[in-house]
Amino acid sequence: MTAVRTARARDLLSIGDLTDADLEHILHRGLHYARNPKPTARPLDGDVVGVFFEKTSTRTRTAFSSGALRLGARVITYGPGDLQTNTGESLADTGQVLAGMLDVLVARTVLTADRLAELAAGPDLSVVNAMNVEEHPTQALTDLTTLLRHFGRVEGLRVLYVGEGNNTASALALALTRFPGVELELRTPPGYGLAEPFAAAAAEQARRHDCSVVERHDMRHLPRGVDVIYTSRWQTTGTVKPDADWRRTFAPFQVHAGLWEGSPGAVFMHDLPAHRGEEVTADVLDGPTSIAFTQATTKMHSAMAVLDWCRRGDGSGT
């Protein structure tokens, strides 16, 4: 028998799962929690949130655990060796069992999107992709909530992303191209650009929303007057570069103070963890233009908004 999911069981496996209204709602709800990080209401009171991380995490795991507790939920944590999927149980069976005991499962996993969807097939269980090899949707929601918090808007912002076209970049491209007037330019090393499905989806969204997305594989003729310069760790968690000499390829894509010559008003963002002296110099990460650590704190506020949306959707209450 096929499990029947209720309207209350909302999954977030990809930014593409969200309607424009959902995306706007989560961002503004995240801003609400940034202003009220200890809400008096407990909209998740009585809920149980499972946190399953196969890969290391500081910010995302803490954000969802702390956020769930602040919203009144109880939290169960699982490590990479804790579930019977390791002994051959199917993802669908695991999801169905967990659905009878949990309300939300937050998962950082090596599973592809299709395989993660099998886990999400259980009735009444909301599954949140807290990063897989393809996409990091909760990071993009954090990033846009940070932009909304800092600039008061997302529409019309000009963003320069420098570095690997990894899961952070993929989610960022899918999210930013939903906002009119946004200009996103990605400078990615040759052979390390956005995966084609994400590049194509972002380009199509950009056409529909009257914004632009451009990707180049060099650091010549950078755009001037951007609002944000963003980078990500070169050695992404759980991945291995196919080229043994990859650092030579990545070296020109380091973010340093010289990038601000054409964009003196830009802020700096980084999804963290950072390796000073690799993808970014210390004077930038720790300098006055950096909002990277505000961005990190905002991850908890955004996680609260995601959990709220998964369980209630309408965001009622305070």
Over residues 251-280, the pLDDT tens digits come to 999 999 999 999 999 999 999 999 999 999
**pTM greater than 0.75:** yes
Which residue in the block uniquely carries the two structure tokens 């601000």? 260
Of 66-70, 146-150, 157-161, 243-247, least confident by mean pLDDT is 243-247
> How does residue 198 score in pLDDT terms, banded at 50, 70 and 90?
very high
Q: Tell me the β-bridge partners of 213.
A: 184
Q: What is the pLDDT of residue 312?
A: 84
Confidence of residue 54 (pLDDT cuts 50, 70, 90): very high
Question: Which band of pLDDT confidence, cut at 50, 70 and 90, is reported for residue 238?
Answer: low
Residue whose tokens read 């956005």: 194
Across 205-209, 211-215, 242-246, least confident range = 242-246
Average pLDDT for residues 90-96, to the nearest whole number?
A: 92
Residues in the chain: 318
137-296: CATH topology is Rossmann fold (3.40.50)
Whole-angstrom Cα distance, residue 310 to residue 306?
A: 6
Q: Got the DSSP string for 144-155?
A: HHHHHHHHS--T
In the chain, where the domains are located = 15-134+300-311, 137-296
pLDDT, greater one: 41 or 238: 41
Task: Give the DSSP per-residue string, the chain.
Answer: -PPPPPTT---BSSGGGS-HHHHHHHHHHHHHHHH-SS-SS-TTTT-EEEEEESS--SHHHHHHHHHHHHTT-EEEEE-TTSSGGGGT--HHHHHHHHHTT-SEEEEE-S--HHHHHHHTTSTT-EEEES--SS--HHHHHHHHHHHHHHHS--TT-EEEEES---HHHHHHHHHHTTSTT-EEEEE--TT-S--HHHHHHHHHHHHHTT-EEEEESS-SS--SS-SEEEE--SS-TT---S-TTHHHHHGGG-B-GGGGSS-TT-EEEE-S---BTTTB-HHHHTSTTB-HHHHHHHHHHHHHHHHHHHHTSS----
Q: What's the mean pLDDT when you consider all of the chain?
A: 93
113 pLDDT above the threshold of 60: yes
- Predicted pLDDT of residue 172: 98
pLDDT at 237 over 60: no
**Contacts (Cβ under 8 Å, ≥6 apart) of 193:** 165, 186, 199, 215, 217
User: Is the preceding peptide bond at 273 cis, omega within 30 degrees of 0?
Assistant: yes
Comparing 11-15, 254-258, 310-314, the range with the smallest average pLDDT is 310-314
> Do the domains spanning 15-134+300-311 and 137-296 agree at the CATH topology level?
yes
- CATH T-level fold of 15-134+300-311: Rossmann fold (3.40.50)
Distances (CA, A) of 151 to 31, 85, 114, 147, 168: 12, 44, 36, 6, 21
pLDDT mean over 12-34: 97
